[in-house]
Structure 1
């Protein structure tokens, strides 16, 4: 039997059949592998990291700025009457809240009720849903750099128009936010399509988790920074800063980044050959025709979709409702609220980066197969956070315990970044961008439904209502972990193989 390009010389036939990720031959790796530090592929990961930090800054800025944009003085008494008194209220909380709500002279505020605010905050997802799959499909065919860069640039330019659209009316702001979501929807599928051509199989986890961790870092920075800018300069400055940062990043992106190693003007021949030879034919663009029917009936793909939906249920529950929980139940003042709401994202960012390095190390040393690595990291990243969410439900009025368990849950959740969240590139590298578009489309559904369910379960603002919220999130997350352990795989699917690979398999 001749050695197939991209297979490890030390792997067994059984391993190659179960996890046919194109791994480098050891002898070739020693000759052609290039240092990871300061390589073009690592520079690409850094550019993506800051790009997704900007993306999440553009996404969450309205959530914080809304507090300053709305004139809520008329509703304050009714709001206070609805807040749970089961937990003691610190005497300084009301004073801090009143001071934080003061607005700079000349900054407009709007009489939007809670329903209007909810509509505006959810407008982003209406646009976000529609461009995931088309973005992944087009990125896989044409290359992802134009779509990732264009998505961030377009969203940044629209963000600069936010103060004007708010002045024109809520309907204009709703339309603007929907367009922002429409533009941002292509970014993550484009990232996956680019890594399918740039990431050597033994470096996938660390490169992809580091670049994707920019989203958690962006949320961690944006939440307190947006509150500080609102308090110091007024809420319009938030959108000018965020939009300007996005435009500046796009300039560097289009100058420094190429779709694939073959077209990069500054990559060394050694690094180019290493990447191209390690990825093999799976690093080539797919054609206009894609195996849609095979994808729809592929259990490994559904083994990615279902756990991501389950994981996102907890994620979007915390993203949209954690500040409300900290205010209504734990009675943190606004400044404490913004800082503590950001803390779980810091933990998730750090642990996701570490998980990527650990996962690649296990594969490099051939200690575990791709399938086993993905299942272990997914189980840790979904099931153990579920246990922490259960504990949050039992924390009662203890702010210290609640924040500790929530932060631990987000930290452990970072492990899934090296598990199910990059599994698309394992089962179908050529179609990874489109598969991420499909899984992200389904994964956005909890972003629409979770806030509605939370609002229904916590309408009386009681500790018991929030306990049910955390228990539900825990149960959904645990189900996703078990589902993936049963049905997940790291094997390249038959419908994703190139003609050359299929023909080579027939000869062996």
Structure 2
């Protein structure tokens, strides 16, 4: 018999989920803050000046005969490359090409190999490859894109594995808070922009990669010691807590392995409504993750350090409110509100209002403070996804939540390279000006809001019949 532990191990697992998503997003988003430090601003235009800085200089002329013009922002952040907007868009999308392919089998890999080893192996590989970026970038941009593709490939395994882990560890009355721990990704984004900006400014862009590889080493040691695939397999858990989790799950989570019911999943309308909702969320999230640092530096005109700090504020606010929404969701569940009412009520906060705010972003014009305020409100309210699209896979099928999340991440992951490619095409076509950025954020806001409205009409939180698909029996020895 296991002895009772002083702290419930399921809470330790919540921390592990949080830290896993934090680490996953450091390697996912670090290129967004490092790339502006690696390239000549404006591509081949070595005298490029952000539009807002040109306007600011024009209003500060004190002499009638002055011929003073704005000077380019000059920062010694290491070797610079003359990659144009198209190349930069492809590099930013490289991770997501790999993520697209990695996420599809992620649920099946985790359900059979085990979520802990899936996460451990994927994170270890991504940490090694993250530092390889430093040495491959000077060779050719295509080599950097290949490495980013590989980081995305293994990174795509992580979130489906986490959904599998949550399905096995979470009790119904704590499920939303468990899912809220996926908000570690927002801390990952925030700290990547802050740490990446400061380190890049102080030690040049190569250390903007190496610093996050060092973080991964520390994380893996802690994760290995503190994690377990299932409650009854954890090295430190007490018997009383194991029984408590099993009783609360009431047989909805099976231990034997089974082949996911792919036919039933793909023919399920509730699955497709979730897929559309997740698509819209990822489009909005990647618009902010990929585009905002460039918008702040090359349009507003903030230097690399300030750009990182300012760009991180919306993500940090999303983290705080994400946990708040998670606790509120579980509170409403304990008050016997129907899950579907909670789900659709939070949709206004997670998708519709943030989409409207994103579409209106360029009304801030060159006012950095106003832009940050609008971004902060948009992204922080999106923390309600812990009650909507991040929780809905477990609503539909606790047994196959990892597989479902892998599939919707595969489909939604297409936005990870559509968004930077669209941004690059618009900036090339119209220049780095208000018109281009209005289109970037306007399209993002429309997709965000439209997908939320679709789910509001057609979505469901009912556990689907194919969750109880007959599983293959445990193997037995024969003589």
- Alignment TM-score, normalising by the size of structure 1: 0.84
Deviations 1:38-66 (A, max 9, x none): 31111111122122212111122222222
In 1, Cα distance between the equivalents of 2:361 and 2:398?
Answer: 38
1:339 is aligned to 2:316 = no
> Alpha-carbon deviation of 1:478?
1.7
> Is 1:255 aligned to 2:225, yes or no?
yes
Query: Structure 2 CA distance, aligned partners of 1:480 and 1:204?
Result: 24
Residue-pair matches, total? 458
Q: Can you list the C-alpha shifts for 1:440-492, whole angstroms capped at 9, x where unaligned?
A: 11111111112232334442333244333333222222211211111211111
1:413 aligns with 2:352: no
How many angstroms does 1:118 deviate by? 3.0
2:207 is the counterpart of 1:220: no
Correspondence for 2:56? 88
Instruction: Say whether the 8 Å CA contact 2:325–2:387 is kept in structure 1.
Output: yes
Q: Within the alignment, does 1:454 sit opposite 2:428 as a pair? A: no
Mapped contact 1:62–1:121 kept (Cα < 8 A): yes
Partner of 1:321: 291
CA distance in 2: counterparts of 1:64 and 1:121, whole angstroms: 10
For the 8 Å contact 1:429–1:496, the answer to whether it is kept is yes
Deviation of 1:274 (Å)? 0.8
Is the 1:143–1:259 contact (alpha carbons within 8 Å) kept by the matching residues of 2?
A: yes
Q: Counterpart of 1:308?
A: 278
1:192 to 155, 160, 163: 163
Cα deviation, residue 246, structure 1? 0.7
CA shift for structure 1 position 236: 2.1
Please give the TM-score of this superposition, normalised by the length of structure 2.
0.88
Pick aligned residue for 1:287 from 247, 257, 265 = 257
Out of 369, 378, 382, the residue aligned to residue 347 of structure 2 is 378
Residue 87 and residue 430 in structure 1: after superposition, are their counterparts in 2 closer, same or farther (change >3 A)? farther
Partner of 1:136, secondary structure, is: helix
Give yes or no for the alignment of 1:102 onto 2:76.
Answer: yes
Contact map agreement 1:130 1:185 (CA 8 A) in 2: yes
Partner deviation per Cα, 1:79-107 (whole Å, 9 max, x = no partner): 33x84788535879966821xx114xxx5
The 2-side partners of 1:51 and 1:167 are apart by 30
The structural deviation recorded for 1:302 is 1.0
Matches within 5 A, 1:27-38: 38=7
Task: Provide the residue aligned with 1:50 in structure 2.
Answer: 19
Name which of 270, 276, 285 aligns with 2:240.
270
2:116 to 145, 151, 167: 145
Change (3 A) 1:225 1:372: same
Match for residue 163 of structure 1? 134
Q: 1:62 to 1:430 in 2, by over 3 A?
A: same
Q: Which moved more, 1:383-392 or 1:273-282?
A: 383-392
CA contact (8 A) 2:321 2:381 kept: yes
CA distance in 2, matches of 1:74, 1:454: 15
In the alignment, which residue of structure 2 is the partner of 1:180?
151
Distance 1:77 1:66 in 2: 16
> 2-side partners of 1:73 and 1:310: how far apart?
30
Change (3 A) 1:214 1:154: same
Give the Å deviation of 1:327.
3.5
Report the counterpart of residue 372 of structure 2 in structure 1: 403
Q: Distance in 1 between matches of 2:348 and 2:10?
A: 29
User: How far has the Cα of 1:270 moved from its partner?
Assistant: 1.3
Distance 1:475 1:482 in 2: 11
SS of 2:211's partner is: helix
Displacement of 1:380 = 1.6
Give the aligned CA root-mean-square deviation in angstroms.
2.6
Residue 360 of structure 1 deviates from its aligned partner by 0.6
Find the residue that maps to 2:360 and give its secondary structure.
helix
CA distance in structure 2 between the partners assigned to 1:159 and 1:238 by the alignment: 10
Q: Is the 8 A contact 1:97 1:334 kept in 2?
A: no
Q: After the TM superposition, which of the residue ranges 375-384 and 449-458 deviates more from structure 2?
A: 449-458
Q: 2:129, 2:435 → 1: CA distance?
A: 41
How far did 1:130 drift? Answer: 0.8
Shift of 1:346: 0.8
Query: In 2, Cα distance between the equivalents of 1:229 and 1:85?
Result: 25
Change over 3 Å in CA distance of 1:499–1:281 after alignment to 2: farther
Name the CA distance, whole Å, in 2 between partners of 1:149 and 1:77.
Answer: 43
Change in 2 beyond 3 A, CA 1:166/1:461: closer
Q: Secondary structure at the match of 2:399?
A: helix
| Structure 2 unaligned residues grouped into runs of 5+ | 62-68, 472-479
Query: Distance between the aligned counterparts of 1:338 and 1:377, measured in 2?
Result: 30
Gaps of 5+ in 1: 1-33, 501-508
Distance 2:469 2:295 in 1: 50
CA separation in 1, counterparts of 2:320 and 2:279? 22
Matched, 1:209 2:148: no
Name the residue aligned to 1:19.
Answer: none
> Is residue 422 of structure 1 aligned with residue 398 of structure 2?
no
